[in-house]
A and B are shown apart, each in its own frame.
Chain A
Amino acid sequence: MTTMTLKRARTSRLADFCGRWSARELIIIGVFAATAKVSTVLIAMVGGGMNPLSLLLKNMVFTTLLVVMLFKVCRPGTLCLFVIVSSVVNFLLLGGNLTLIPPMLLAAVIAELLMRFIQKNNLPGAVYWGVGCFDLLCKFGSLGISFLMMRESPAMMAAVVPIVIIGYIGSLIGLWTGSKSIKELRHAGLIRS
């Protein structure tokens, strides 16, 4: 009886979570995920995959897009949904690295909790803190996965660590460009307060 009640409660909470989204919000998440994918591939192609500058710019663009998306869809769970949806499509289209999905999802959940905490306490910059936290945790996650892949030759991490650091610097810059973009998009009338 108790198990059934719990299952029913869990199912209805899930249905509740799913039911809160409007088609417009889901579409915006999809569009931004597509834009992020296409932009990062483009930068890698133009600048070269191992060019530190293109690594930096890729992360900067990705973070900027995340910030804009979270301003456009101001709903708890957006980041998690973005990660899930991007992962599913990444996997289908490019067979993307499956092993990165669990750490990214965990990072998204923690970032969402942080944003909620900041908003509940009426502190400013919830989106920026959330995205910054997400980026940082994702970088740790990717370092962890890289270590798992190269555990027999830990010295190879010497190649991975600088890449991740450069990437994170790009993400930090992306928080700044994200805030500039929001201002500009408000000036253009494409995002309203």
Chain B
Amino acid sequence: MQASSVPNLSLLNAVDIRVKMMITALASVMTVAISSLYAQCFLFAVSFLYLLMIRRPKLILVSYLLFLIMMAIACGFGLVLAHFLPMMGKGMELKSLAVPFMRAFTMLNVVLPLAFTGRLQQILNSLQKLKLPFVIYLPAAVIVRFIPTFTNDIKQIWESLKIRGYRINPWTMTIHPFQTTRLLFTPLLIRALKTGDELGIAAELKGLNANTSAIKKDPPSFTKKDYAAVSLTAAILVAAIILQIYFPNTSPVLMK
């Protein structure tokens, strides 16, 4: 999650956030819908190139590593189950695993650029551009506004606990889960309630209510880069569909 500073080098910073949202949405739906190995490989490759455009190799490496660990654990569970239920084992061959793996990585590839190429304030601006009804815009704006505040609060709560002498780590969370959760969670809950009340009062005093009209902003304008991104996305999706049609599902499980 990007708080306030964003590298200026990424080409994706110049692309409108609505276009990036559309890419993420379409890629997510497409990757779940199609099951052809070749189509998935194609989507994975293209989305990986898209991910590389954020120019943050360390982030990509760490994200992939964590994801691989999770997938490895999932495979481990799968193999254990296959040992006891051989029928389930038919889907544990490499060819069959490739499709779910690539689905997951494709989704990761399109999610990270959306998360890491926009400042929080840009996200607030995006909410305005989406012309959401006020009942959605106001709470969404509050979430975006308060995530950095709560993150800072958690840091302060953490330090207060450290100062008092409480130790909070995976071990203490395991042996004293409820006490640890209470120590971390109670101040945050109280803070949430008080913040909600204070800001709610401020909103009332500023004359805001749900009948407030939608925000009038200049009509949204897209640049050449946005149109290029949309066109490219459309072409990629068409190619993926063609691959699905001509090289349909290659999973041994479903072919038998």
A residues with a Cβ closer than 8 A to B are 17-35, 37-39, 42-43, 46-51, 53-54, 56-57, 60-61, 64-65, 68, 72, 81, 84-86, 88-89, 91-99, 145, 148-160, 162, 181, 185, 188, 190-191
Contact = CB atoms under 8 A, between A and B. Distances in A.
Contact of B78 (A22, A46, A153): A153
A26 B138 contact: yes
A116 to B, nearest CB: 19
B91 A152 contact: yes
B251 A152 contact: yes
Given A23-B138, A61-B181, A152-B254, A38 B174 contact: no
A65 B191 CA distance: 12
12 contacts: A18-B135, A23-B208, A46-B170, A47-B174, A49-B70, A54-B170, A72-B193, A84-B136, A92-B123, A94-B111, A155-B89, A156-B100
A28 B143 contact: no
A38 B147 contact: yes
B233 interface: no
B211 A86 contact: no
B52 interface: no
A69 to B, nearest CB: 9
B140 A150 contact: no
B218 to A, nearest CB: 21
Interface residues of B, number: 93
B81 A155 contact: yes
Nearest to B23: A95
A50 B74 CA distance: 11
A65 B66 CA distance: 28
Contact of B196 (A27, A152, A153): A27
Contact of A27 (B92, B142, B249): B142
Contact of B29 (A24, A99, A151, A156): A99
B110 interface: yes
Secondary structure at the A interface, as helix, strand, loop or mixed, is: helix
> Top 6 nearest A-B pairs by Cβ distance?
A30-B142, A24-B200, A95-B111, A30-B139, A159-B74, A23-B203
A34 B200 CA distance: 15
Interface string B159-172: 00000000011100
Given A51-B174, A155-B92, A27 B203 contact: yes
Nearest to B40: A152
B231 interface: no
Given A61-B181, A95-B112, 11 more contacts: A22-B200, A23-B203, A30-B146, A53-B174, A57-B177, A98-B24, A154-B91, A155-B78, A158-B78, A159-B77, A181-B189
Interface of B: 1, 17, 21, 24-25, 28-29, 32, 35, 66, 70, 73-82, 85, 88-89, 91-92, 96-97, 99-100, 103-104, 107, 110-115, 118, 123, 126-127, 132-136, 138-144, 146-147, 150-151, 154, 168-170, 173-174, 177, 181, 184-185, 188-197, 199-201, 203-204, 208-212, 249, 251, 253-254
Contacts of B168: 46
A188 B150 contact: no
Contact of A85 (B113, B126, B139, B254): B139
Contacts of B169: 46
B76 to A, nearest CB: 8
Given A30-B139, A35-B192, A148-B32, A42 B132 contact: no
A96 B114 CA distance: 10
B39 to A, nearest CB: 13
B77 A162 contact: yes
Contacts of B97: 152-153, 156
Given A21-B210, A23-B203, A93 B192 contact: no
